[in-house]
Amino acid sequence: MNRFWLDRTVLVTGATGLLGGWMVRHLLSQGADITCVVRDWEPHAEFVRSRMWQQMNVVRGDIRDQDLMERVLGERETEVVIHLAAQAIVPVANRNPVSTFESNVRGTWTLLEACRRSPRVRSIVVASSDKAYGSSATLPYDESTPLRGLHPYDVSKCCADLIAQSYAATYRSRIAITRCGNFFGGGDLQWNRLVPGTIRSILRGERPVLRSNGQQVRDYLYVEDGVAAYLEIAERLASDDTLIGEAFNVSYEAPLSALAMVEQILNAMGSRATPEIRGDATHEIPAQWLTAAKLRSRLGFVPRVGFVRGLADTVAWYERFLAPSEPRLTSVRPPPAWSFGVEAAS
């Protein structure tokens, strides 16, 4: 138990996502007083299936609503904000750029403006991405690498990142920024993503499918190590002014091609399946990976779980979830007030 989080008032956006679900689980285990702003009721999400929402304050709304965000921050006397809400699927962003910009860019400035008007907020962690760096001939990216995203998702994260930097520099808002690679872990039900899609195909006796040509190199990070990094940054930021406006890469510093990642999953599952390489993905950056030297040197952060154990835990989660003898989804109805757009407390 880390006593910093005991009874600490925390706002988490994006709680129904992969990272958000694990973030809320860890904060609950530390005794935090959590509020989540949730736009859509998603029964598939681990946040809902495991009934975590019953142990916190849940506000039905949109982070683009500044009046709502100011009310939530003020009435809950929020001290820490962890901003994870985003449209995070690259092909969706390519097809629907405006909705992606609305969620990722407008949502960020609205929340940060509400935080600026809320004097009790002492720590804000904003989730950027390695995609904000765009394509670079110099690898690995460090935090001084220019942000040069070109395609809709990448640009949306560039904008959110720069907006966060602007609020920190101009208003001394207590903001730090995280830039991570591709998260993996149990609870990700976006089956078009490489890790959950590959595991499900193997469990079904099917060939895993790669949308790309398999050669794109990425950073893969187990979600619980990502959560630990976010919480460490948030805790230190609350009392350390030198962290205001700083960005931190989070990485194992062990990049893999998409095909190599599939092979890691196949080995972990004892499968001899051969992947189907379709090569029809568009606007893919050829290679991206990060150095986490700054996070180590400034905060002394070391991942707790690691890639091998994280992948084993991920496979075990999906084996349980997709077991024929167990229901894949629980029937969880939203709280009665949900459809009326008002708050439902635990």
The answer to whether 132 and 89 are in contact (CB under 8 A) is no
Q: For residue 71, what are the CA distances in angstroms to 59, 240, 346?
A: 11, 27, 18
At 334 the pLDDT is 60
> Tens of pLDDT along 190-248?
998 999 999 999 999 999 999 888 899 999 999 999 999 999 999 999 999 999 999 99
At 42 the pLDDT is 83
Helix (H, G, I), strand (E, B) or coil at 113: helix
Report the share of the chain in percent with pLDDT over 70.
94
- Classify residue 340: in a domain, yes or no: no
* Residue 141 bears catalytic tag: no
- The domain containing residue 22 runs over which residues? 9-328
At 214 the pLDDT is 87
> Tens of pLDDT along 61-98?
999 999 999 999 999 999 999 999 999 888 899 999 99
Return mean pLDDT, the chain. 92
At 236 the pLDDT is 98
Total domains present in the chain:
1
Contacts of 340 by beta carbon, 8 Å cutoff, 6+ apart: none
At 339 the pLDDT is 42
- Classify residue 55: in a domain, yes or no: yes
Task: Check 133, 141, 153, 167 and give the catalytic one.
Answer: 153
At 342 the pLDDT is 40
Tokens standing for residue 336: 């009665």
> Tens of pLDDT along 326-345?
555 444 566 655 543 344 43
Residue 11: phi, psi to the nearest 5? Answer: -105, 125
CATH number at residue 230: 3.40.50.720
